[in-house]
Chains A and B, each alone.
Chain A
Amino acid sequence: MKEIALILIFLGCSLGGIWIDQDQRKRIKELETFIYLFELLKAEIDYQLTPLKDACKLIGERAEGSIGQIFLCFSEQLEAKESVDLNQMWLLALESYRGRLHLKEQDYEQLIAFSRACGYLDKNMQKRNLDMVIEKLEHERKISQEKYERCSKLNKSLGILIGATLVIFLI
């Protein structure tokens, strides 16, 4: 019985380290996906002048998983025209899938900024707004990438080390 408990403690700590590592890796991946989708949105607006609801639907369908769903949810709300508040619609779309993403508060702040000038004024304004959002997300991505490279091995080995230390201590 004691051996099983010790194995479980060791496994739990090791998996904890791996989980923290995975969480950071997924955050970077999600930031990359958002950047890619915003680039697509910019191209749709700049090249084809596609209305926001159609552009969001198109790119939402191209992206897999929750991030694609966020754009699809936003597009559906634009289509339904139940409100004139774009901020509220975008926020609702983000909130609907928040639990499924690995982003941090500062990432959400940058994402929320997207809707502030979204659909407002002309094509150049849209491009500038998207450029700004992309730039800020890219900044976050770079910081988290550097952090991940620095701490990835540490997180994993720290989990194993803590597990091993606890096991030794308990023995």
Chain B
Amino acid sequence: MEALLKVMPKSIKTGLIAMDDYERNNMQEIRLRVDKPLILKIRAQEYGLNERGCCKLEQGMVVTRQVLTDILHYMSDFSLYALEDELRQGFMTLEGGHRVGLVGRVVLENNQIKTLRSISGMNIRIAREVIGCSVKVMPYIVGRDKVHHTLIVSPPGCGKTTLLRDIVYQLSEGFKGYGPYTVGVVDERSEIAACYQGVPQNHLGMRTDVLDGCPKVEGMRMLLRSMAPQVIAVDEIGKSEDYDALREILSAGVSLLCTVHGRDEEECLRRPYLKEVLEKGLFERMIILSNRQGPCTVEAVLDGTKGMKRLG
């Protein structure tokens, strides 16, 4: 919360400080849109904010363009040039791992997004780690002599990255006599480690090396060449070149942890590149997640080497 307060102008800061502990600890999002009320999302409910703290939406403050500009300056440490890539991608990571999504007018150059200007909205997602959320699946991932190549499958917002992050942490610190392992993380979108100025804001364990903001394919090769990892973790594989790099890693004796969007194994098998990898049994474990009982609900753990036999 401290980190968040640092980037807020006085008007919002006063309101956030005045909130009670319950509201503060359960806050999920802060949404700011020009000339619209500031919206706080607390336990899936929407509230407004005024100088006395959390309030009904209609009693809350309205966000002005100046407020958004000030927040952007604070977030960038008065150095917009340092966030060129982030602005191009429409998101940035704050100290503490909080993610900020941005919208505004897109500036194109040669049909490529050059930057965002006239920022008209922000969505600040409050980062919360769930340390220990992988404890149930860890026994399926760690083997006697190695970590199994594991694919985590779920639709968006079901906790793939949260689970991956905790698996990395458990492997790096050692889990019930297994490990510890040296883990390399290629964090293309700064979601796993939530690095702020190169320093991971989330707990990834003491034996974890993070390549932040690096494209997956190059990152996996760089880690393999330079950091001698026993396990490599990447988020959201999907492109054909990702699978080429995966095959390279899988044949290099390094264990692989990946996530992919999908509802279940059948949906994964409908994708040509992923189907090929799965049919060859390259992923020894497949963890299917859902949101049925909240994020990180484990629906199934499958054995990829035995025709997707259900393990748990």
Contact = CB atoms under 8 A, between A and B. Distances in A.
A119 B84 CA distance: 12
B80 A119 contact: yes
Interface residues of B, number: 17
A21 B7 CA distance: 48
Contact of A119 (B7, B70, B78): B78
B84 A123 contact: yes
B77 interface: yes
A51 B198 CA distance: 13
Given A49-B82, A81-B6, A122 B74 contact: no
Nearest to A121: B80
A51 B77 contact: yes
Interface in B48-85: 69-70, 73-74, 76-82, 84
A42 to B, nearest CB: 12
B190 to A, nearest CB: 15
A5 B141 CA distance: 94
Nearest to A80: B6
A51 B74 contact: no
Contacts, number: 51
B115 A52 contact: no
B81 A121 contact: yes
A52 B84 contact: no
A122 B84 contact: yes
A96 B219 CA distance: 46
A119 B79 contact: yes
A86 interface: yes
A84 interface: yes
A50 B197 CA distance: 9
A54 to B, nearest CB: 8
A120 interface: yes
A120 B284 CA distance: 50
Contacts of B7: 81
Interface residues of A, number: 19
Contact of B78 (A50, A86, A122, A125): A86
Given A84-B70, A122-B115, A78 B84 contact: no
Contacts of A54: 77, 197
A125 B82 CA distance: 12
B80 A84 contact: no
Nearest to B72: A84
A54 B115 CA distance: 23
Interface in B83-138: 84, 115
Interface string A85-107: 01000000000000000000000
B73 A53 contact: no
A81 B12 CA distance: 14
A45 B76 CA distance: 14
B81 A45 contact: yes
Nearest to B85: A49
A53 B77 contact: yes
A124 to B, nearest CB: 8
Contacts of A126: 81
Nearest to A86: B78
A125 B84 CA distance: 12
Nearest to B69: A84
Contacts of B6: 81
B80 A78 contact: no
Interface string A103-145: 0000000000000001111110110000000000000000000
A78 B78 contact: yes
B41 to A, nearest CB: 25
A123 to B, nearest CB: 4
Most B CB within 10 A of own CB, among A51, A53, A121:
A51
Contacts of A118: 78
A52 B79 contact: yes
Nearest to A50: B82
Interface of A: 45, 49-54, 78, 81, 84, 86, 118-123, 125-126
7 contacts: A49-B81, A51-B77, A51-B82, A54-B197, A84-B73, A121-B81, A122-B80
Given A54-B77, A78-B77, 5 more contacts: A52-B78, A54-B197, A122-B81, A122-B115, A125-B81
